[in-house]
Amino acid sequence: MKRLVTVIGIIAILSIIWSFFLKGNTEIQSKTSKSEVTKVETLNQTNSVPQKEHGVIAGVKTFMKYTGFKNVTPGHLVMICVGLFFIFLAVKYDYEPLLLVPIGTGVLIGNIPFVLNAGLQVGIYESGSVLNYLYFGVVKGVYPPLIFLGIGAMTDFSSLISNPKLVLLGAAAQLGIFITFLGALALGFNGPEAGAIGIIGGADGPTAIFLSSKLANGINMLADGTTVKNLIGPIAIAAYSYMALVPVIQPPIMKLLTSDRERKIRMRPPRAVSKAEKIMFPIIGLLLTTFISPSALPLLGMLFFGNILKESGVTERLANTARTSLIDIVTILLGLTVGASTQADVFLTSESMLIFVLGALSFMFATAGGVVFAKVMNLFIKEGNKINPLIGAAGVSAVPDSARVVQLEGLKADPTNHLLMHAMAPNVAGVIGSAVAAGILLSFLA
């Protein structure tokens, strides 16, 4: 923490000193009269040494013009602090380090001040720059399906197959998506922008990026001729931020909506699932979900394809590549470019602040929706087969963090009650549910 404060202090001090230097230099130039300028020109003509000094000074000034110190703004400093904060959370508290470290570093890279529209080709929004080429995978929705391929290759659907009714909890947790969609409309966002914002409630970063790249990309035209806002950066940062804060946001809501007796409910152990069931599930799931929501095919197709690679037993090398090297590479590129897209002049807007507020509310509603629906299901389930309502919170698709939170909260209520395997069922169902919801929104709003 001391080192973080030191770094921030150094940046602030350098910025203040340099801003005063520039201000003083400008005032001196403005006070120079025309007669003084004439005298200087005469002196330069008669004395070669001052002329050389003037050329050196001019060169230094030109150099300084292109440095970050000259072009820094308070917005840049704010975003640099945000990037440092993300890295701090990842290193100090181990909050989603595989996501927050690349994103935090990307925020730092994206907010190095430079002269805009000078043809330097360094910014992520400048055509021809390296970052702009890497950002293509975000804008065109290339990275999210590749991440879903890796997720599918590392996911075990056994707990969901053994207790299919828990898929309803994954569906119920998507309540936050549609409530936030309506809230965004009420706050003045147009339909496509509201749909992209609403998907934050699914707590699924790749899905949020995929949908925002299709609906709120700063390119699409609305029926009235206006262009949608580019909200990919704020939506992605909000989604990943709340995913990282699952252990902070969910427990209070879970405790508020459940009694001590409910938190102690023991569930029957999941039954053993055969290999045939494991192979058939992704095939049937692929056909069923994409028939319901064809627009979600890029996400769901890759998710179930990855799972087929895993469960078939004959493509272990491909499955291993998908769940290790491939997903790691794509995560690096996605996190870095999403972070870099938070350029201060683009990111620090009133819309971004509203998105963060709506994102927090959507996540809370999603968690509450899963817990409450589990309580409703218990009204129709016989004694002995009751569902522990805590696992409803895992219906959001923050895999596997939500399931871990459920496990920890269950152990607090009863140290011998292990809910992790049960919670994984709604957790993976939430991944499917958020992708289906994204496909439905895309069908209606694109």
Query: What does the pLDDT average to over 44-73?
Result: 65
Contact of 420 with 404, CB cutoff 8 Å: yes
Q: What pLDDT score was predicted for residue 126?
A: 87
Reported confidence tier of residue 402, pLDDT bands at 50, 70, 90: very high
Residue 393 DSSP one-character state: G
**Which residues touch 47 (CB under 8 Å, ≥6 apart)?**
none
Residue 228 DSSP one-character state: P
Q: In this predicted model, what pLDDT tens digit does every residue of 131-173 receive, in sequence order?
A: 999 999 999 999 999 999 999 999 999 999 999 999 999 999 9
Reduced to 3 states (helix: H, G, I; strand: E, B; else coil), residue 227 is strand
Query: Could you give the CA distance from residue 3 to residue 120 in angstroms, rounded to a whole number?
Result: 32
Reported confidence tier of residue 245, pLDDT bands at 50, 70, 90: confident
Query: Could you give the CA distance from residue 397 to residue 203 in angstroms, rounded to a whole number?
Result: 6
Contact of 394 with 402, CB cutoff 8 Å: yes
Contact of 301 with 290, CB cutoff 8 Å: yes
Whole-prediction pTM value? 0.83
Q: In this predicted model, what pLDDT tens digit does every residue of 282-339 receive, in sequence order?
A: 999 999 999 999 999 999 999 999 999 999 999 999 999 999 999 999 999 999 999 9
Cis preceding linkage at 192, omega within 30: no
**Which residues touch 68 (CB under 8 Å, ≥6 apart)?**
112, 113, 114
Task: Using CB atoms within 10 Å of the CB of residue 205, give its burial: 0 to 12 exposed, 13 to 18 middle, 19+ buried.
Answer: buried
Rounded percentage of the chain residues whose pLDDT exceeds 90: 59
Cis preceding linkage at 400, omega within 30: yes
Residue-range domain boundaries for the chain: 2-112, 137-445
Query: What does the pLDDT average to over 260-272?
Result: 91
Rounded percentage of the chain residues whose pLDDT exceeds 70: 86
Query: Could you give the CA distance from residue 61 to residue 303 in angstroms, rounded to a whole number?
Result: 55
pLDDT at 186 over 50: yes
Q: In this predicted model, what pLDDT tens digit does every residue of 205-231 receive, in sequence order?
A: 899 999 999 999 888 888 888 889 989
Q: What pLDDT score was predicted for residue 23?
A: 42
Name which of 252, 176, 238 is nearest 405 in CA terms: 252
DSSP states of 246-301 as a string? HHHHHHHHHHHHS-HHHHT---PPPPP--HHHHHHHHHHHHHHHHHH-GGGHHHHH
Query: Could you give the CA distance from residue 95 to residue 243 in angstroms, rounded to a whole number?
Result: 9
Query: Could you give the CA distance from residue 196 to residue 177 in angstroms, rounded to a whole number?
Result: 9
Q: What pLDDT score was predicted for residue 148?
A: 96
Q: What pLDDT score was predicted for residue 48?
A: 46
Contact of 367 with 249, CB cutoff 8 Å: yes
Q: What pLDDT score was predicted for residue 54?
A: 63
The residue with tokens 């300028």 is 37
Q: In this predicted model, what pLDDT tens digit does every residue of 354-363 receive, in sequence order?
A: 999 998 888 8
What's at 375, amino acid-wise? Answer: K
Query: Could you give the CA distance from residue 122 to residue 133 in angstroms, rounded to a whole number?
Result: 11
